[in-house]
Structure 1
Amino acid sequence: MTDFEFEINDQQEEKGGGFKRFLKLFSFLIIMIIIGVYFSTGIYQVGASEVALVKRFGKYIRQAGPGIHYHLPYPFESVVKVDIRTLRKIEIGFRTVSVEKMSYQEVKDEALMLTGDNNFALVEAIIQYRVKDPVKFAFSLISPYEVVKFVTESVLRERVAQRDIDAVLTSDRDLIAIESAQRIQKILDDYGVGILVENVKLQDVSPPDQVIAAFDDVNSARQDKEKLINEAMGYQNDAIPKAEGKAQEILNEAMAYKQERILKAQGDTIRFKKVYENYVSNREVTRKRFYIETMEQILPEIKKVVLTGDQNILQFLDLESILKGGETK
Structure 2
Amino acid sequence: MKVKLITIVVVVILLVVYAVTGVYQVDPSQVALVKTFGKYTHTVGPGIHIHAPFPFQSHVIVDVQTVRKQEIGFRTVRPGQYVQKKEEALILTGDGNIVSVEAVVQFKVNDPVKFVFRVENPEELVKFTTESALREMIAKRTVDEILTAERDRVSYEVHQITQQLLDAYDVGITVINVLLQEVVPPQTVIAAFDDVNNAKQDKERYINEALRYANNLIPSVEGEARKIILEAEAYAQQRILQAQGETQRFLSILKEYKGSPRITETRLRIETLEEVLPKAKRIILLDGSQNITLLSLDKLIGGGEK
Tell me which of 176, 179, 191 is aligned to 1:198. Answer: 176
TM-fit CA distance, 1:31: 1.0
Aligned to 1:38: 18
Unpaired runs of 5+ in structure 1?
A: 1-20, 247-329
Counterpart of 2:82 (choices 101, 104, 108) is 104
Alignment correspondent of 2:137: 159
Which structure has the greater CA radius of gyration?
1
Q: What SS is found at the alignment partner of 2:32?
A: strand
Q: Which residue is equivalent to 2:122?
A: 144
TM-score by length of 2: 0.67
Partner of 1:326: none
Give the TM-score of the pair, scaled to structure 1.
Answer: 0.62
Q: Give distance in 2, aligned partners of 1:236 and 1:42.
A: 85
Deviation track 1:28-84 (CA, whole Å, cap 9, x = no partner) reads 121111111111111110001100110001111111111101111000000100011
User: What is the alpha-carbon distance in structure 1 between the residues aligned to residue 33 and residue 24 of structure 2?
Assistant: 12
Q: Taking structure 1 as reference, are residues 234 and 184 closer, same or farther at Cα in structure 2, changes over 3 Å only?
A: farther
Q: How does 1:158-307 map to 2 (within 5 A)?
A: 158-227=136-205
User: Partners in 2 of 1:51 and 1:235 — Cα distance?
Assistant: 70
CA distance in 1, matches of 2:156, 2:211: 31
**2:52 aligns to what?**
72
Q: Deviations over 1:249-287 (max 9, x none)?
A: xxxxxxxxxxxxxxxxxxxxxxxxxxxxxxxxxxxxxxx
Structure with the higher fraction of residues in strand conformation: 2
Q: Percent identity?
A: 54
Give the Cα–Cα distance (whole angstroms) in 1 for the partners of residues 178 and 209 of structure 2: 36
Q: What residue ranges of structure 2 are gaps of 5+ in the alignment?
A: 224-306
The count of residues paired between Structure 1 and Structure 2 equals 224
- Aligned partner of 2:109 in structure 1 is 131
Match of 2:33 among 48, 53, 60: 53
Measure the CA separation in 2 of the matches of 1:174 and 1:157. 15
Deviation of 1:222 after TM superposition, in Å, equals 3.2
Query: Which stretch of the first structure deviates more once superposed, 206-215 or 194-203?
Result: 206-215
Q: Look up the equivalent residue of 1:163 and give its one-letter code.
A: R
Offset of 1:223 from its aligned partner? 3.2
Cα RMSD (Å): 2.8
- Alpha-carbon distance in 2 for matches of 1:224, 1:82: 56
Partner of 2:302: none
1:83 to 27, 51, 63: 63
SS of 1:63 mapped into structure 2: strand
Counterpart AA for 2:12: M
Tell me the distance in 2 between the aligned counterparts of 1:234 and 1:31: 97
The match for 2:74 among 94, 98, 104 is 94
- Give distance in 1, aligned partners of 2:84 and 2:102: 8
Q: How far is 1:228 from its partner?
A: 6.0
Q: Secondary structure at the match of 1:184?
A: helix
Secondary structure, counterpart of 1:96 in structure 2: strand
Cα distance change on mapping 1:55 and 1:97 into 2, 3 Å: same
Q: Which amino acid aligns with 1:30?
A: V
Matches within 5 A, 1:18-37: 21-37=1-17
User: Which residue number in structure 2 is paired with residue 292 of structure 1?
Assistant: none
